Structure 1
Amino acid sequence: MAEQSLVFSFFLIFTGAAVLATIALYTRQPLLVAYIVLGALLGPYGFAFIGDTKLLADISHIGIIFLLFLLGLDMQPSHLVQMLRKATLVAILSALIFMVIGYLVGIAFGFTQTEAIVMGVALMFSSTIIGIKLLPTTVLHHKHTGELVVGLLLLQDIIAIMVLLVLNNTGSEQNDPMMFVKTIIALPAIIVVAFLFVRYCLLPLIHHFDRFHEYIFLVAIGWCLGMAEIAQLAGLSAEIGAFIGGVAVATSPIAQYIATSLKPLRDFFLILFFFSIGASFNLALLGDILIPALVLAILVLALKPLVFRVLLRRISESKQLAWEVGFRLGQISEFSLLIAYLATSTALIGQEASHVIQATAILTFLLSTYVVIFNFPNPIAVSDKLRRD
């Protein structure tokens, strides 16, 4: 019965996505909008054709892992280190600015101090998925823009991991300060082990059996998910582990073949991810949280490009590049959703505050996608002039 239910769910999701995607393309709308709307329609708070979205959300998480792995395959380690060093101050200052903005809005709408702090923290980050999915491969390979976007997103992800550790500690009965120490030690250790393993084991195996494409495909998936699991066990995120796994292979000639072969698999899981976002939102609370969510979304969409533009100009980036990076990062993050879910499960915030964060995430995902696809080069642009794969 469980298998039939999962097959039926996949039938509804992908058939429905195909129909709505067709309508979206005819009406010149982003495909991401179709997936989120479909989730809201078919999920437990819509027509309830799919009652339990937890399994689908867990499965869809694999799409984020593959996305970061493929991103790592496109990044040369030397360029990455240089960019992280340059972007650190920008990432920290922008995070603090948006934490203050979110906190002040939370207080203004009568939320508790703790809820306002969590709302502020949720505004600190931009979406890795939106940022990378709308970034053309050509930009990543040939332009400074892609490296800068990736560097800022990675630094934000590291800050987000620390926040999630704090929330986990706050929610647990035993506070373990050593958890932070273990995490700080784990990151460089995993990087070193990953590069050594790739150099002395993985690449020799791939070179020896490079005639068997199926073998390379399997090894790539195993390496990606293995690194994700190791990172998660060490207190980091699965996404960070997958990214490290990708960067470790990036200098190999086989990297681009692996990237090409895994893209369809990534897209399959990302459709599930955006569907689960729409399906998990309780539409019954919309009336109570719409105004604060709209205010937060408008502030994020208006101020993130401006803040990043000012900060990036301070580190000698061009005006045009600074604006483009700001608009590409002009939303909140999937980490914001995780923070909302975790803070609710540990009773730090109520359902209303959690749904304000969720609604803000959905609104900024949708609206920032519109801004990017109609103004900057991206793989899903409706205009042929802007479409870059």
Structure 2
Amino acid sequence: MEFSSITFSFFLIFTGAAVFASIALYTRQPLIIAYIALGTCIGPYGLSLVTDTKLLSDIGHVGIIFLLFLLGLDMQPQALWATLRKSTVVAISSSALFVAAGFGVTALFGYSLQDSLIVGAAMMFSSTIIGIKLLPTTVLHHRHIGELMIGLLLLQDLLAIFILMALFSASGGAEGMGTSLLYTVLALPLLIALALLFVRFLLLPLIRRFDRFHEYIFLLALGWCLGLAELAVLLGLSAEIGAFIAGITIATSPIAQYIAVSLKPLRDFFLILFFFSVGAQFNIGALAQVLAPALVLSILILTLKPVAYRYLLKGVSEHRSLAWNLGFRLGQASEFSLLIAYVAVGGALISEQASLLIQATTIITLLISSYIVVLNYPTPIAISERLRRD
């Protein structure tokens, strides 16, 4: 048997996930914790049973793409536009506050100016997966809190794209960075225009003509989602943005709900791989080097984000209970934070310790935030029957 094969890796991951998930359910723990813990145990920094975490991370990223595609399928363009206008002030104000907080803590522990700036930038984002995965479907798609969350997360995704482009372009100097950022700004409306034209003149006619063949509709949806995601990447945007645009452009089609239901099991398959890879890529043995700043920064993020969102949302006329609810659901660092850490250290823009600090803070806040939400708010995986909502 080839123990390093992808088949054997999948066997270990999904069999292990079933075992860890069973333990989590019996001990009334969130399932996301089980997947991250499994990655830590059998990944390269644990028992080293699964070593190709880069491949698994890339595969798991498909789960995030499908997640954003499904979100787009359930959003009406008019409602999204109204929500984005209200979310802009909150997103920009909160991002500036979180950058300042991350910068201050990192600088306090003696990190360099550049390390502190990049760590601060990584702290401005909240997790798309935690936020959306733990929000009940009916609440996400048909209530105001779902619209607000999507608006805030999409604006954060756009900010993340600019930061990643800046990091990728840093080696080219200020002129190269400016050109790349301008290219990104122009690419978004171009992508939307191309998507609308393609849907109107090709995709919707095909759906109307062959909507009786469900297998064909399923394949067409997969091709459209992944195709626009790849086009977005080619234009300098993120695959997540492309997938969301792919979903929202066909949201008015009568077949949209069938596509959404069909893709959910596929999405969950890839998301398990994503959370496994998060745990597997974290070097727990080196945690002692950054433990003190990671704990301080994690506590600050877990407390500051809910409070900041509560007051900022209240300032734009949202109810207090909704503001607290949304604040706690977005009260963590993000998978984009991990990506910033990997890109920055790969380009020698930050030290290994600063990258490890971002990773440690992200994982700690993901874990604790999951517990806070699952134990106190309605979620599809709530431990309490009273709070469990699909």
Verify same fold: TM over 0.5: yes
String of CA shifts for 1:144-189, please: whole Å, max 9, x gaps: 0000011000001101100001101113478253222221111011
Partner of 1:111: 111
Aligned equivalent of 2:256: 255
Instruction: Name which of structure 1's ranges 369-378 and 333-342 shifts more when overlaid on structure 2.
Output: 369-378
Aligned to 1:55: 55
Is the 8 Å Cα contact of residues 71 and 246 (structure 1) preserved in structure 2? Answer: yes
- Please report how far the alpha carbon of residue 136 of structure 1 lies from its aligned counterpart in structure 2 after TM superposition: 1.2
The one-letter amino acid paired with 2:39 is: G
TM-score when normalising by structure 1: 0.98
- Work out whether 1:128 is the aligned partner of 2:128: yes
For 1:384 and 1:258, the matched residues in 2 are separated by: 29
Counterparts of residues 256-295 of structure 1 (less than 5 Å): 256-295=257-296
Task: Specify the alignment match of 2:243 in structure 1.
Answer: 242
**Corresponding residue SS for 1:40:** helix
Task: Give the distance between the partners of 1:34 and 1:361, measured in 2 at CA.
Answer: 16
Q: What is the distance in 2 between the residues matched to 1:370 and 1:150?
A: 21
**Which residue of structure 2 aligns with residue 377 of structure 1?**
378
State how far apart, in whole Å, the 2-side matches of 1:345 and 1:245 are.
31
- Provide the residue aligned with 1:192 in structure 2: 193
Which range moved further: 38-47 or 133-142?
A: 133-142
Match for 2:190: what amino acid? A
CA distance in 2, matches of 1:304, 1:141: 23
What letter corresponds to residue 104 of structure 2 in structure 1? Answer: L
Whether 2:165 is the aligned partner of 1:165: answer yes
C-alpha distance in structure 1 between counterparts of 2:200 and 2:81, whole Å: 19
Letter in 2 for 1:269: F
Given that 2:4 and 2:50 are in contact with CA atoms closer than 8 Å, whether structure 1 keeps it comes out as no
Give the letter aligned to residue 267 of structure 1: D
- Whether the 8 Å contact between 2:166 and 2:177 is mirrored in structure 1 is no
Task: Tell whether the 8 Å contact from 2:122 to 2:336 is kept in structure 1 after alignment.
Answer: yes
* Contact 1:285/1:352 (8 A) holds in 2: no
Name the CA shift for 1:135/1:171 in 2 (closer, same or farther; >3 Å). Answer: farther
Q: Structure 1 CA distance, aligned partners of 2:2 and 2:206?
A: 38
8 Å CA contact 1:74–1:140 kept in 2: the answer is: no
Q: Are the structure 2 counterparts of residues 176 and 349 from structure 1 closer, same or farther at C-alpha, using a change threshold of 3 Å?
A: closer
1:150 equivalent in structure 2: 150
Instruction: Tell me the amino acid that sits aligned with residue 126 of structure 1.
Output: S
Structure 1 contact 77–247 (Cα < 8 Å) conserved: yes
Find the aligned partners of 2:131 and 2:262 in 1 and give their Cα distance.
Answer: 21
Q: Following TM superposition, by how much is the alpha carbon of 1:200 offset from its aligned partner in structure 2, in angstroms?
A: 2.0
Q: Which moved more, 1:30-39 or 1:371-380?
A: 371-380
SS at match of 1:379: coil
8 Å CA contact 2:165, 2:177 repeated in 1: no
Residues of 1 paired with 2:172 and 2:357: CA distance? 24
Residue of structure 2 in register with 1:65 after alignment: 65
Q: Which moved more, 1:114-123 or 1:177-186?
A: 177-186
- Do the aligned partners of 2:2 and 2:8 also contact (CA within 8 Å) in 1? no
Shift, 1:374, TM fit:
1.3
Paired residue type of 1:144: H
> Given the superposition, is the C-alpha separation of residues 4 and 41 from structure 1 closer, same or farther in structure 2, using an over 3 Å criterion?
closer
Alpha-carbon distance in 2 for matches of 1:171, 1:298: 34
Contact 2:166–2:180 (8 Å) recurs in 1:
no
Query: How far apart in 2 are the matches of 1:205 and 1:346?
Result: 45
Q: Deviations over 1:82-138 (max 9, x none)?
A: 000011010001000010000010011111111011110011010111111111110
Quote the sequence identity (%).
Answer: 63
How far apart are the structure 2 equivalents of 1:221 and 1:141?
21
Is 2:302 the partner of 1:301?
Answer: yes
Instruction: Note the C-alpha offset of 1:3.
Output: 9.8
How many correspondences in the alignment? Answer: 389
Q: Please state if 1:101 is matched with 2:94.
A: no
Aligned residues of 1:75 and 1:250 also touching (Cα < 8 A): yes
List 4+ stretches of structure 1 deviating above 6 A: 1-4
1:302-351 CA distance string (max 9 Å, x none): 11000000100110000000101101100011110010011101111111
Report the equivalent of 1:323.
Answer: 324
Once the two structures are superposed, residues 29-78 of structure 1 have per-residue CA deviations (whole angstroms, 9 ceiling, x without a partner) of: 00000000000000010010112211111111111100110111111100
Q: TM-score, length-normalised on structure 2? A: 0.98
